[in-house]
Chains A and B, each alone.
Chain A
């Protein structure tokens, strides 16, 4: 709906249009003070001024109707002011108008925080690592984990592919996994072992904490775990890009996929590329697609990366591969180094932890 067709006085309409608000979608996302500033009218309420009352009801999804008083939140709930008109209040209640899709998905920051706090994370089966990651691997986020060879990245990937399948009764997501293997490190025997251990854990949990043996007796044989892992084996970078592009269609057909693990993301890109600009374009395209997948389907994306040495001020340092431009691709980056035979030192840029040391088995 256009502003020009709103039942408001011509002068106000003119002000709105000259300030640049030509459609309702632009109005609904603006803050009250900004609107007042742009229109050069006061936002005082209850004043006998030549003011305008505009109430625009919110997109249906956010669930907070602007008409009712909303407690002020630290993130600033957006509520258009009730600019009292002089004389006739022209309240515009536009309910149920089809907004453009971009706006119907707009959420307030309060909503987003609430959603984040209540979302279930995928556990890594290591409580210390879960703590560092803020509860586990989160959905709607891209997590990158890197480390030296032999530190346990593939093990972690397989563990996550199994743990995502833990049913909701046991505190998990009950979803399926996609495992994209670029190096050939996925061994079915190891995955079976991990699946068996998970099934045993669930049985133990069942017997210890849920004494009432009702219908919540979930018997998941290890084979059921293996059937829920969709395994792609790729051998060139073109195959890698093709599979990442194909993922959207695949996930549309299998709606209960909750995690995509790529092990490892960098292997095929570390060959000599004649055209480095092409490599950067391909990588950033891939990163964007993965982020979009995570947000759209509400699943977790885990990228396993390698480390390389960087010559920095006269000494060599270990750093995650693919360089600085790749560093912006993921939400969280965790970097594991080996200090002792079974110890891992993890530094991550996921708030609020900086560096934690933990031992993993």
Chain B
């Protein structure tokens, strides 16, 4: 390695991106998930993180002209079981996929952070051999929860592990032009902790709770781009009587609306977009 080799001049005009499979969501993300960066999606459970990850696993196999990466993907999951049936169902609704799309999705279960640190060096030769261009880790938070105590020393050790993992993933991303997507969980924000704003300068709400991403400030420094998905319950379909306040109020339909927004990204402004989860997958709503 020579320092001259690290210079990229002239710069490329565009970063390659991976489509999400829906033009509205792609426009929201400025083309899709960018390669050579780490994207984190965090949300409450049941919002659609895994659905989106599965959708990306299939989209990576699309030809580049259709926004894919024309390559295989790797799915590292720490939450069990692996949703194979849903993946199979999704593959029926994706046109333009090559034959046997499930053959090009490699799955590895993760049990702990040490296991992840063992798997990562193996990827140095697995990724070019299997032509992998997308790595999804679902979820990174589950690996760390319960392993470290809440003392300052343990937290410091934990953040050292964050940087090690993130550094290795970024190395792989640069070396092989990968897109890396991680999913994360949320934690509740208690009261007004003004003396410790951990990077989310805005308050994020999901299902009525004020939340922020798990794993804290150190982890927030490790990712390039952060997306937040949330859902809200909305009362819909009030009949004329109820609107006038004459109905008995016992019948109320609640509809769940889901949104995704950019928390921070180097190339995107703060914006949000609504989406729905259908049989075909996640689709944006304009």
- A residues in contact (CB < 8 Å) with B: 148-151, 154-155, 183-192, 226-227, 229-236, 239, 242-243, 245-246, 250, 267-268, 270-272, 306-309, 311, 315-318, 337-341
Contacts and interface: CB of A to CB of B under 8 A. Distances in A.
Interface string B146-175: 000000100001011101100100110111
Contacts of B226: 149-150
B152 A311 contact: yes
A149 B221 contact: yes
Contacts of A151: 201
A340 B200 CA distance: 10
Contact of B201 (A150, A183, A239, A316): A150
A321 to B, nearest CB: 8
Given A150-B201, A184-B37, A316-B195, A232 B7 contact: yes
Contacts of A184: 36-38, 170, 173-174, 224
Contacts of A187: 15, 34, 37, 266-267
Contacts of B217: 148-149, 307-309, 318
Nearest to B31: A189
Contact of B197 (A155, A185, A337): A337
Given A148-B220, A188-B15, 19 more contacts: A148-B201, A154-B266, A183-B170, A184-B37, A187-B34, A187-B37, A187-B267, A188-B14, A189-B14, A192-B13, A233-B174, A242-B3, A245-B3, A246-B3, A267-B163, A268-B163, A307-B217, A308-B217, A338-B201
A340 B194 CA distance: 11
B10 interface: yes
A180 B104 CA distance: 36
Contact of A231 (B8, B199, B218): B8
Size class of B's contact patch?
Answer: 35 or more
Contact of A239 (B6, B13, B224): B6
14 contacts: A150-B263, A183-B224, A186-B266, A187-B34, A188-B15, A231-B9, A235-B167, A236-B167, A245-B3, A246-B3, A270-B163, A270-B221, A271-B160, A311-B152
B236 interface: no
A232 B8 contact: yes
A235 B15 CA distance: 18
A272 B160 contact: yes
B208 interface: no
A297 to B, nearest CB: 17
